[in-house]
Amino acid sequence: MSNTMCQSCGMPLSKDPAHGGSKKDETKFQLYCSYCYQHGKFLSPEIKSAQEMQKFCIKMMKKNGVPGFIAWILTRGVPRLKRWKK
C-alpha cells in the first residue's frame, strides 16, 4: 500500500513537486514529502513535536493565501501521523 500523504506534515504527496522525499542514496522515499525529508534527513530538525509542525504548516499555508481557520483544519491530523506517534 503506497502512502498518499507526508507522514510528517500531512501534505498530499500529489502536491509535492518531487513526489516524495529521498533517502541518503537519493532513492525516493514516499513516507515523507521533499519539503520535510531529503538525503535521509529531516530538513527542519528544530521542529521536535507535532504541535510545532502544525504551527509551522499553518504559518506557511497562510503565507500562501490559505485562511488561518482552513489551515488549522487541514493540520488537525498532524499528531496522528507516523513521525509523531510514540
The answer to whether residue 8 sits within a structural domain is yes
**Residue 51's pLDDT band (cuts 50, 70, 90):** very high
Q: Answer whether residue 86 shows pLDDT above 80.
A: no
pLDDT of residue 31: 95
Question: Domain range for residue 51?
Answer: 46-79
Domain count, the chain: 2
Q: Which whole number is the average pLDDT over 65-72?
A: 96
Q: Are residues 35 and 71 in the same domain?
A: no
Q: Answer whether residue 1 shows pLDDT above 50.
A: no
Q: Which long-range CB contacts under 8 A does 73-82 form with residues at least 24 apart?
A: 74/10, 75/10, 77/10, 78/9, 78/10, 78/50, 78/53, 78/54, 79/50, 79/51, 79/54, 81/5, 81/6, 81/7, 81/8, 81/9, 81/10, 81/50, 82/7, 82/31
Please tell me the pTM assigned to this model: 0.88
Q: Which whole number is the average pLDDT over 22-50?
A: 95
The answer to whether residue 37 sits within a structural domain is yes
The answer to whether residue 65 sits within a structural domain is yes
Q: Are residues 53 and 69 in the same domain?
A: yes
pLDDT of residue 80: 95
Q: CB-side exposure of 73: number of CA atoms within 13 Å? A: 5
Q: Are residues 62 and 75 in the same domain?
A: yes
d(CA 46, CA 51): 12
Q: Are residues 63 and 35 in the same domain?
A: no
